[in-house]
Structure 1
Amino acid sequence: MSGTVTQIIGFVLSTCGWVLTSSTIATDYWKVSSIAETVITTATFWSNLWKSCVTDSTGVSDCKDFASMLALDGYIQACRGLMIAAVCLGFFGSIFALIGMKCTTIGGTDKSKARIACFAGVTFILSGLCSLTACSLYAHQITAEFFDPMFVAQKYELGAALFIGWGGSVLCLCGGGTLCFSSVSTCTERFTGYIYKGAASHSHVSTSHRGPLKPAGQLPSPSPEYSSSSHTRQFDKNAYV
Structure 2
Amino acid sequence: MSGVQIVALLGGLAGLGATIGATVSNEWRATSRASSVITATWVLQGLWNNCAGNAIGALHCRPHHTILKLEGYIQACRGLMIAAICLGFFGAIFALVGMKCTKIGGTDVNKARIACFAGVNFILSGLCSLSACSLYAHQITTEFFDPMFIAQKYELGAALFIGWGGSILCILGGGLFCFSIAGSCTKSHSQAGYIYKGATSHSHISSYPRGQAKSVNQRPPPEYSSSSRMQHFDKNVYV
Question: Which category of TM-score, normalised to the shorter sequence, fits these structures?
Answer: 0.7 to 0.9
Residue aligning to 2:6: 8
In the aligned structure 1, how far is the partner of 2:68 from the partner of 2:84? 22
Residue pairs, 1:63-142, within 5 angstroms: 63-142=61-140
Once the 2 structures are TM-superposed, how far is the Cα of residue 196 of structure 1 from its aligned partner?
Answer: 7.6
Deviations 1:140-197 (A, max 9, x none): 0000000000100100000110000000000000100111111211112334556788
Residue 25 (structure 2) pairs with residue 60 (structure 1): no
Residue aligning to 1:170: 168
Bigger CA drift: 62-71 or 157-166?
Answer: 62-71
Query: Match of 1:73, as an amino acid?
Result: E
Residue aligning to 1:223: none
2:147 aligned to which of 141, 146, 149: 149
Structure 1 regions of 5+ residues with no counterpart?
Answer: 203-241
Identity of paired residues, percent? 56
Deviations 1:96-143 (A, max 9, x none): 000000100000000000000000000111100100000000000000
Once the 2 structures are TM-superposed, how far is the Cα of residue 17 of structure 1 from its aligned partner?
Answer: 0.6
State the aligned residue count. Answer: 199
Q: TM-score, normalised by structure 2?
A: 0.77
In the aligned structure 1, how far is the partner of 2:143 from the partner of 2:185? 50
Residue pairs, 1:32-71, within 5 angstroms: 32-33=30-31, 34=33, 35-37=35-37, 41-71=39-69
In the aligned structure 2, how far is the partner of 1:168 from the partner of 1:57? 29
In the aligned structure 2, how far is the partner of 1:103 from the partner of 1:153? 56
In the aligned structure 2, how far is the partner of 1:170 from the partner of 1:128? 6
Query: Match of 2:29, as an amino acid?
Result: K
Query: Match of 2:58, as an amino acid?
Result: V
Query: Match of 2:47, as an amino acid?
Result: L
Whether the 8 Å CA contact 2:121–2:174 is kept in 1: the answer is yes
Whether the 8 Å CA contact 2:26–2:51 is kept in 1: the answer is no
Q: Secondary structure at the match of 1:122?
A: helix
In the aligned structure 1, how far is the partner of 2:68 from the partner of 2:192? 59
In the aligned structure 2, how far is the partner of 1:185 from the partner of 1:42? 59
Whether the 8 Å CA contact 2:14–2:169 is kept in 1: the answer is yes
In the aligned structure 1, how far is the partner of 2:184 from the partner of 2:7? 15
In the aligned structure 1, how far is the partner of 2:197 from the partner of 2:132? 53
Residue aligning to 1:231: none
Instruction: Tell me how large the CA RMSD over aligned residues is.
Output: 2.2
Bigger CA drift: 112-121 or 13-22?
Answer: 13-22
In the aligned structure 2, how far is the partner of 1:74 from the partner of 1:197? 57
In the aligned structure 1, how far is the partner of 2:184 from the partner of 2:123? 20
Once the 2 structures are TM-superposed, how far is the Cα of residue 89 of structure 1 from its aligned partner?
Answer: 0.6
Query: Match of 1:135, as an amino acid?
Result: C
Residue aligning to 2:226: none
Which of structure 1's runs of 4+ aligned residues deviate more than 4 A?
Answer: 192-202
In the aligned structure 1, how far is the partner of 2:198 from the partner of 2:156? 63
Residue pairs, 1:144-223, within 5 angstroms: 144-192=142-190
Bigger CA drift: 176-185 or 27-36?
Answer: 27-36
Structure 2 regions of 5+ residues with no counterpart?
Answer: 202-239
